[in-house]
A and B are shown apart, each in its own frame.
Chain A
Amino acid sequence: MSGKPTERNYTEVEFMICLAARLIEDQRSVFVGYGMPQIAAILAQKLYAPRICQVYEYGAIGPEVATPFRRNMMADARNSYRSFAWTTMNTMIATASSGYIDYGILGAAQIDPFGNINSTMIGKDYTRPKLRFTGSGGGNEVASLCWKTILIMEHEKRRFLEKIDFVTSPGYLDGSEQARERAGLPRGTGPHRVITSIALFDFDAATRRMRLIATREDITPEFVVENMEFKPLVAPSIDRLKPPTPDELRILREEIDPERVVIGRV
């Protein structure tokens, strides 16, 4: 095995979504962000965690999101379908702030070793960004206030940086002990896992640095680390991540995203 990616019958997005779906615990609440996290939460609910409570910043609590997924679907009737309650943004943020939200799932453009993420801009000059993105959205609240945050990143070297251009949403900040609490963030919160298109990371309890714990079946740990600008810690034993199962792929492609808006095509 070369450790380089081999022919696959699934897209990298499908891989990340399946991995995220498998990490979501049933009967927990999950604050769901736009795009990939939505698909992951829907897949989880259909396959692994039928009784999760999805919550959305626009106020929906516990929807059974109607499929198929449509492009730009956020806050519409399909997204909000069969909820327990329809509330408002201040209610949802308060819900996370007062400790009711177990998981948050977010994507980002850049990440640093301590799980701080950038979804705001690329460049050194804030007033003249080389590339501007959407900004925090509800991401800052999710990363600040949910108990455990799951981050989803495409695995490209330029996205894993010692120092990111802009810290949109907090990870373990400078990585020092209790950095989050000292900044005023809620105790016991922070990034939990980082899912990439080829690997899975957790955060080392002693140093709060990202630590490689598993790789995709066809990928070696060396290949993972080579494709990151900062060097993560590597766990003593590295698990193998199963590719998407036929069941996962069938549900993704036939029920959830038949137009392949998010999952893409092989």
Chain B
Amino acid sequence: MSGAGEVRLSDVDAAREWMRDNKSRAPVDKVMSEHEAVARFVHDGDYVSYDLSSMVRGPMSLEREIVRQRRKNLWLAAKFTLLDSTLLVAGGCVSKIDVGFAGLGRTLFSAIETGKVQVIDWSNGTLALRHLAGAMGVPFLPTRALLGTDTFKHSGAKVVEDPFTGKKVCLVPAIHPNVAIIHVNQCDMFGNARIFGPSISPVETAMASKSVIVSTEEIITTEEIKKNPGRTTLPYYLVSAVVVAPHGAHPGTVPGLYTYDSGHLDEFFSARDDATMKKYLDKYVYGVKSHDEYLALIGKEKLQSLRENEMIREGYSA
């Protein structure tokens, strides 16, 4: 039994060869601007995966840059997402979304209702599992979710008989995203990256992806990484580009560092039609050339107050 949803299948051997040839094990300086990183690693038609969600440690500065560079026909893995998918859809960058959780806001939902954006329904868990399959270099993984539902029928999963027991089991195909964008707390110039706090699937996503752009709150030395290797989330060879982006998750939060910008989120989500959304994008995305200019627009005082209002620090350091 097969779900009807379209799947971008990838061959595991082709993926292995890509990793061999393109994700170098040479420890080289990968620090670059968000402009360069997106120009080099995000292309029209790419399958894009991110981690976590825009409200929490989301790669917002990179998403704004993708909109600024007017990428088209992206296929998103929305495995846990709030405003990421909404922003990228509003920017006209998206043609398909593998839905775990289809974000929020009228802009996104009306794009789906009018058929401007095609959705393929999965679930958060099965999308995370598909990334794990990609990370493991296996073509699929079994799960006991999706079974018996319309979510299954519209996904690209299959139900087969378990060859060991004869019971039914659901199989989900591996994803090898063209590019993953992941915001982290700390990273060295090679791409050894630390995430503090819970997460969705940063390791699986980075391992499975053909290119990985990491944006980081701060750059630390490799010496620091080596003093506490248990805190390294991503080893450097998974990472293609390192972009320095303090407050990179704004208007979302990076737990332990800064809180949400509620006023800004209200402004974003109050954009219920194309004209107001265009005004928002003109001001905050197209109206600035870089993340630095964006931060200047938000203002030092505001950013400082967001840091001061994050009261909980426990657990969010090396």
Contact = CB atoms under 8 A, between A and B. Distances in A.
Nearest to A122: B113
Contacts of B55: 72, 74-76
Given A75-B52, A76-B260, A77-B256, A184 B144 contact: yes
A60 B146 contact: no
A26 B283 CA distance: 50
A179 B148 CA distance: 9
Contacts of A126: 154
B195 to A, nearest CB: 10
A59 B122 CA distance: 19
Interface residues of B, number: 65
B179 interface: no
B123 A75 contact: no
A137 B100 contact: yes
A140 B159 contact: no
Contacts of A80: 197-198, 255, 315
Interface in B106-123: 109, 112-115, 118-119, 121-123
In the A-B complex, the 7 residue pairs with the smallest Cβ-Cβ separation, listed nearest first, are A184-B168, A59-B198, A183-B148, A136-B123, A137-B101, A86-B198, A77-B255
B194 to A, nearest CB: 13
Interface residues of A, number: 58
A90 B129 contact: yes
A60 B80 CA distance: 14
Nearest to B255: A77
B100 A135 contact: yes
B143 A97 contact: yes
A89 B144 contact: no
A168 interface: yes
B228 interface: no
B317 to A, nearest CB: 12
Interface stretch (B64-72, B199-207, B217-225, B285-293): B199-207
Interface in A165-183: 166-170, 173, 179-180, 182-183
A209 B119 CA distance: 32
B147 A170 contact: yes
A8 interface: no
Nearest to A85: B198
A56 B199 CA distance: 11
Interface in A55-70: 56-60, 66, 70
Contacts of A78: 312
17 contacts: A58-B56, A59-B199, A71-B262, A72-B260, A74-B56, A76-B259, A89-B201, A93-B128, A120-B121, A133-B109, A134-B102, A135-B119, A135-B123, A136-B100, A137-B100, A166-B150, A167-B151
A167 B123 CA distance: 13
Interface string B112-142: 1111001101111110110010000000000
A168 B151 contact: yes
B80 A89 contact: yes
Interface string B231-273: 0000000000000000000000101100110100100000000
